[in-house]
Each structure stands twice: as structure tokens, then as C-alpha cells.
Amino acid sequence: MLGESVGLGPRLITVVLDGLRYQGATQWLGYIEHMVEKGQAARYKVISELPSLSRPLYEVLLTGTPAYMNGITTNQVVRLSGEESLFHLAKNAGLTTAAAAYHWVSELYNKAPFNPLRDRHQHDEQLPIMHGSFYFEDQYPDSHLFADAEFLRQAYNPDFLYVHSMNIDDAGHRFGGGSKEYEGSVRIADSILALAVPQWIAAGYTILITADHGMTVSGQHGGTTPEEREVALYGIGRPFTPGVYDEPIPQLAIAPLMAGLLGLMPTVRMTPFLIPGLRLPAPSGV
């Protein structure tokens, strides 16, 4: 069975494809949609929180709190989060955490402001993200980013690995969400996932693939249109029941979902939601 492992507790890899709108995911993620079509993955439609901007939605995804509550209201808020994130939850439960991600993730949960000469690679088991590889150029190739993630996985065997890709968002801003460059960046990410996901399944991980926000044809996001707010969520492995679930779910559901997939109690600031096709085990409470 997908995601089954022997002698291991729950383990999770979450991939965030920055800027990938729902329609782009369903049309151009050919390998991931193959998994859905063949009964190996579940697909959901997620409605992002507002504002549909990157840094505020990183905080939403990882803490399950809305912007008015957490204070990360714009990309220009550069400080550590005041919330308890998934990294904090996992670390406090004795799990190993890792991230290959844009440097804003480090600024939210490890060190702010980011110093590229000091903070590119971080290995400190006292930090919420114990093992981090953080890039600071939007054009940093997704091929390199996923190689960074795979290095962290093989070297440190994390229980929770967060992988955050930026090339789709970058192409959308530079060329527009209706451009061949935007489409091409999605197809490249899919081809990389086609190499990585089978290895992650074999290693016993449950896998989530989603996005923070979408992208308009003109290359914008931050507002309220479906192109900006509708994103996909794919669940691969136990305990997902494969299929397509059309009823939209709120983005605030993802953080408590990740906690549940790791066997952890959500924080008091997270609001668990009932997600169709999913039956989580009782949390350990650690």
C-alpha cells in the first residue's frame, strides 16, 4: 500500500508549488494527475486565505492562523512568527524537521532578517527547522531546490520535510499566468516530482502537494479572484482515499491536516476541518 512503512512513525513531506493556480495544476501536472487518475492520489480544491500573497500564506499554511490574527499581513512584514508552527509542533514532539525553501520561511521560523552569507544552510537541532537549505533568488532553479530537499531527506531522515518551489511564481510574475513560460515551469516541476515522489513513497512518507496562491493571466496575485485564490491539494499515501473531491476546503484546514498526518495534536489556534476521503488516526498528544 502507498505510504506504508515498517517500524516507522508517521512521516510527511509537504511540497508547496508557489503561484500554481488550480487550473494550471489540473492541466499541466501530468504525473500527479496520473496518480489521481489511476487511484493512487486524492485531489482537492483549496480556497486560499486573504490577502493572497506569499509570506502571509506561508504563515497560514504552517500555523493555521489567518492574517488578522498572526499579524503577517503583507510580504513586507519581516520578523519571526509569533505563532506555533508545524515545525515547532514536530520539534517539541521529538520529531526531526527539515526544509528546502525560500528564505522567507527561515525568516518566519528560524532567523530574521535573513543573512545570505550566514543563513543559506542551517543545521541546529534547537531551531524549529533543524535542517534547512534556504535560497534567496526567485530564479533559483527548481531542479536545484528539489536536489537540496533530497539531500536533506537522505542525510537527516526527517519526519517532516517542507519543500517550497518558486519558479512557477517567478515565471507568472515575469511573463504572466497565461504565458508559455508559466505553463513550462509547471511542467518542469511535474517532471521533477515524477522522479522524487516514487522515492518518497518507497521511503514511507505521506505526501502533500499544494500551492500558497494562484496567478492571474496578467501575472498578479493578492486579490480575491478565483485565479488568485483557487489552488489544488494532492494527498498521496495513507490515510487518503484516492479520488477527486470537488467540494472546496479552506486553506486554514491544511495546518491541522499536517499535524494529524504526523500524529500530533493541532495547536489551540488551529481549527480542524472535516476533509472528505480522509480518516486520521487518533493523535498521540505528545
Question: pLDDT by residue (tens digit) across 85-136?
Answer: 999 999 999 999 999 999 999 999 999 999 999 999 999 999 999 999 999 9
Residue type for 248, please?
P
Q: What percent of the chain has pLDDT over 90?
A: 93
Question: Is residue 165 assigned to a domain?
Answer: yes
Of 63, 102, 120, 115, the C-alpha closest to 86 is 63
Q: Taking CA 89 as the corner, what is the angle to CA 253 and CA 11, rounded to the nearest 5 degrees?
A: 75
- How far apart are the C-alpha atoms of 248 and 98, rounded to whole Å? 29
Question: Is 269 a member of any domain?
Answer: no
CA 138 to mean position of chain CA atoms: 17
| Better-scored residue on pLDDT, 124 or 5 | 124
Stretch 9-34: mean pLDDT: 97
Q: How many domains does the chain have?
A: 1
Q: Is residue 274 part of a domain?
A: no
Among positive and negative, which fits the CA dihedral 47, 49, 50, 54? negative
Give domain status of residue 54, yes or no: yes
Helix (H, G, I), strand (E, B) or coil at 103: helix
- 282 lies in some domain: no
Q: Which domain holds residue 105?
A: 12-262
Q: Are 59 and 83 in contact (CB under 8 A)?
A: yes
Q: Is pLDDT above 50 for 286?
A: no
The confidence score (pLDDT) of residue 8 equals: 59
Largest pairwise CA distance in the chain: 49
Inside any domain, residue 27: yes
Compute how many other C-beta atoms are within 10 angstroms of the C-beta atom of residue 46.
22
Task: Round to the nearest angstrom and report the end-to-end CA distance of the chain.
Answer: 27
Listed in sequence order, the residues at least 6 apart from 246 whose beta carbon sits closer than 8 Å to its beta carbon are 45
pTM: 0.95
Quick check: is 135 in a domain? yes
Q: Give the model confidence (pLDDT) of 241-269 as tens digits.
A: 999 999 999 999 999 999 999 999 999 99
> 31: pLDDT confidence band, cut at 50, 70 and 90?
very high
Asked whether residue 205 carries a pLDDT value surpassing 50, the answer given is yes
The answer to whether residue 268 is domain-embedded is no
Task: List the CATH number of the domain containing 36.
Answer: 3.40.720.10
Is the per-residue pLDDT at 281 higher than 90? Answer: no
Does position 5 have pLDDT exceeding 50, yes or no? no
